[in-house]
Structure formats: structure tokens, C-alpha cells
A and B are shown apart, each in its own frame.
Chain A
Amino acid sequence: DTGVSQNPRHKITKRGQNVTFRCDPISEHNRLYWYRQTLGQGPEFLTYFQNEAQLEKSRLLSDRFSAERPKGSFSTLEIQRTEQGDSAMYLCASSLKKNTGELFFGEGSRLTVL
């Protein structure tokens, strides 16, 4: 039984570089979510997918951010031209379509932009 898996767990990059995070959800879950968590704050919603369709994006998701879920299984979150303000923990979660809002979270990918 595997939970939500995220890679890499830690990423240190220089300002201006591009980074990509991967999320593998629980296999039978067709909804996938990305959240961002900064120090001392709760997670903030970024975007979510139902199967391969991206159904909502937060205004927090600037045009430097792009998320995909090409085959309705794993998802990637890419940040282009990283800025120091992008430093955060990026959380992925998944759930069943018919759910009451219970999400299953991965351990997160921590990004540090120098």
C-alpha cells in the first residue's frame, strides 16, 4: 500500500533557474491537488486536477508556474525563473472524486531559492 509520493524531497536552486516537482498520487484517486506551505503558515491551495483536466487554479499560481497531469496519473509542477519568494514546501494531495473533502497528502517537496 503506497501513499502519495513526491520527488524530489528537497531542492536548492539559484534564482532564475527552473525547477520541476513530481507527484504520484494514490493509484485509484482521480483528483490531485497542489498546495504551497510557507514557514509559519497553513497550506494554501494552488490548483487541482480531476483526471487529466486542470479544473481550478488559484491566483497564487502566477504565469511562471505550470502544472500538468498528462495521463491522469502522476502530476508535475514546474516553476520557471524562480524567485526567492518561491521558497516554500510544495504539497501534493489526492482524493477520490466522490469524497467529503478528505485529502491524502504527500510529505512535500521543499524548495529553497538562493
Chain B
Amino acid sequence: AQSVTQLGSHVSVSEGALVLLRCNYSSSVPPYLFWYVQYPNQGLQLLLKYTTGATLVKGINGFEAEFKKSETSFHLTKPSAHMSDAAEYFCAVSDTTGGTSYGKLTFGQGTILTVHP
């Protein structure tokens, strides 16, 4: 069975500061990993994903994440926080069979990011 643990249900940063949201996963097969973001009253939207290849992946709005197999981690970072980054962020892992995913995701519990002026 797969699982995802997000360390810290709430993270607060100042505008312009580094954003670091932590995610650890467990999976018995090579995982596909995702970060989704949910703004208030909106649906979840994909921020970035790792499938194969380069372990440092870049997403929208200046976010990036690094897949570290040895640490089973996929932490999300952004060098400089903006007020508009305030949202809830979810890390997720997908089942893969034969190197493909059919979209069944296991999500972490989410991290609410607050950005202070």
C-alpha cells in the first residue's frame, strides 16, 4: 500500500521568504509523484509532477520539487513567497503498472501555506 506524509499541516512564511513544504512517501513500485494546489473555492490544480528522468522538476508559479529516492521525499520549494501563494498544498503518489499510471492517487493530508506581508 502506498502512503504520503506531509510534515506540518500549517506553514507560515513572510512575503519574499523561502517556501519549503515537506512530503515523504512510501511505495513498493517506482512512484509518480505530484503536488497539487487548492485555492479557496477552487478545484485542485496540478502544480508539478515527477514521472521519470530528471529528479528536479519545475512547475507553475516558480515552484519546484526534487525527487530523492534514498530519502523517499519529494519536498516542494519556492525561493521567494508571494501573497498569491497562500493556499493549501497536497502531495500525492500514483500507482504505476508497467511504467504507466491510471490516475488513482493517494494524497497527503495537506499543508496550508500562509504568507504574511
Contact = CB atoms under 8 A, between A and B. Distances in A.
Nearest to A50: B102
Contacts, number: 72
A48 B102 contact: yes
Interface residues of A, number: 28
B43 A101 contact: no
A76 B61 CA distance: 34
Contact of B49 (A3, A102, A106): A102
A42 interface: yes
Nearest to A37: B107
A94 to B, nearest CB: 9
Interface in A53-68: 55-56
B77 interface: no
A99 to B, nearest CB: 6
A101 B44 contact: no
Interface of B: 4, 9, 32, 34, 36, 41-46, 49, 51, 90, 92, 94, 100-110
24 contacts: A33-B103, A40-B110, A41-B110, A42-B4, A42-B108, A42-B109, A43-B44, A43-B90, A43-B107, A55-B102, A91-B43, A91-B44, A93-B44, A99-B101, A99-B103, A100-B101, A101-B51, A101-B102, A102-B34, A102-B49, A103-B105, A105-B45, A106-B43, A107-B42
